[in-house]
Amino acid sequence: MKTIFIAGHNGMVGSAIYRKLEKSSAHKIITANRKELDLTCQKSVLNFFEKNKINEVYLAAAKVGGIYSNSTYPAEFIYENLMIELNVIHSAFITGVKKLLFLGSSCIYPKFSKQPINENQLLHGFLEKTNEPYAIAKIAGIKICESYNRQYAKSHRLDYRSLMPTNLYGPGDSYHSENSHVVPALIRRFHEAKALQKEYVEVWGTGKPRREFLHVDDLANACEVVMNLDKELYEKYTEPMQSHINVGYGEDISILELAKMISQIVGYSGKIIFNKSKPDGVQKKLLDSKIINKIGWNPCIKLDDGIASAYEDFLMNINKWN
């Protein structure tokens, strides 16, 4: 029986992968929380890998946040993410782990990418400055995997892969008042406005930017599909120095439309006001997911259904965010 390590199992992505994989008894899943294992400490990570005889790794651990936290804590975002990636991937290599899946982010692509964004646009322009440190760390994660594959694929039979999901939401998301992403931030804001009977809710930016949103359970399905994909087929759709694959919903929506959708799901009937003094970020970001669609994966969860389930998850865990 193979042993699978899910790095970051308490996060939104890691917990979704855990829920997906635990349905099978064909493997053993091991995890470690932050108190048990500091992924930024090289010695601790290596000791953990040596002790547990790991066969496969899903690298979902990361320091994440929205525009505010990325802009406020850039040093932490680049340092912690680089350290996590380097320590986990290098320890996996040293201890003989043959298969690893690295989870990145669509923010790796240039600010003015052609739409929809396909994989070959990586490193072909300037990044969005509001999350540049995080994006650089995620680009490094792709290149670390590629570099180990290029040097050791034949001699050590390495097979380290990378997936780049679009904006995610769903169970396990963070609803922090300042550091959350747009979907959980709006869910909390409209919920609190409803409870306090506020006349209006303020949303950052103009409302014009368009974003693509994918339910995290759909991403977990994609992770399993790609991890178990025959190596020859994976290599058919990728290249040694462009080995990552996009995972998107296939449609985008304006922030204005998103705000209206969430307000209706939450049951808030007040006004929505946009604070145009706040940053919009990239105006449009839609991934080209043709490759993973050809491989055989497609999203199953509609956006309105997914947000409704996310709101239910928020209500179930509301005491955590008060």
Query: Residue 247: what are its φ and ψ, rounded to 5°?
Result: -135, 105
> What single-letter amino acid sits at 246?
N
Annotated catalytic sites, by residue? 134
CA 18/CA 220 separation, integer angstroms = 8
Q: Is 316 exposed, middle or buried (0-12, 13-18, 19+ CB in 10 A)?
A: exposed
